[in-house]
Amino acid sequence: MSTVADTALPQPSAAERVRSTLARAASLSLTTHGQGYDLIGLHSVDPKGQITLHPQADSPLMAETACAPRGSLAALLEFTDIAPTAVRDRVRARVTVSGWLTPADGDDGPLRLDTARVTLRTPAEVVDVGLDEMTLTEPDPLAIEEAAMLTHLADAHKDMVTGLLALAGPRMPRGMTRAVPLALDRHGITLRCEYTSGHYDLRFLFPVTARDAAEAGEQILQLLAAPGPCPHRRPSPRRP
List pLDDT tens digits, range 66-107: 999 888 999 999 999 999 999 999 999 999 999 999 998 876
Q: Does residue 88 contact residue 192 with C-beta atoms inside 8 Å?
A: yes
Whole-model pTM: value is 0.89
Among 44-53, 128-137, 173-182, name the one with the lowest average pLDDT: 173-182
Type of residue numbered 153: L
C-alpha span between 142 and 155 (Å, rounded): 19
Confidence of residue 187 (pLDDT cuts 50, 70, 90): very high
Instruction: Give me the pLDDT at residue 229, please.
Output: 56
Helix H, strand E, coil C: the string for 108-166 is CCCEEEEEEEEEEECCCCEEEECHHHHHHCCCCCCCCCHHHHHHHHHHHCHHHHHHHHH
Estimate the share of the chain in helix, then strand, then coil, as percent rounded to the nearest 5: 30, 35, 40
Q: Is the pLDDT of residue 7 over 50?
A: no
Instruction: Give me the pLDDT at residue 107, please.
Output: 67
Instruction: Give me the pLDDT at residue 73, please.
Output: 97
C-alpha span between 10 and 205 (Å, rounded): 8
Q: 3-state DSSP call for residue 192? A: strand
Structural domains in the chain?
2-136 (2.30.110.10), 146-237 (3.20.180.10)
Q: Is the pLDDT of residue 130 over 90?
A: yes
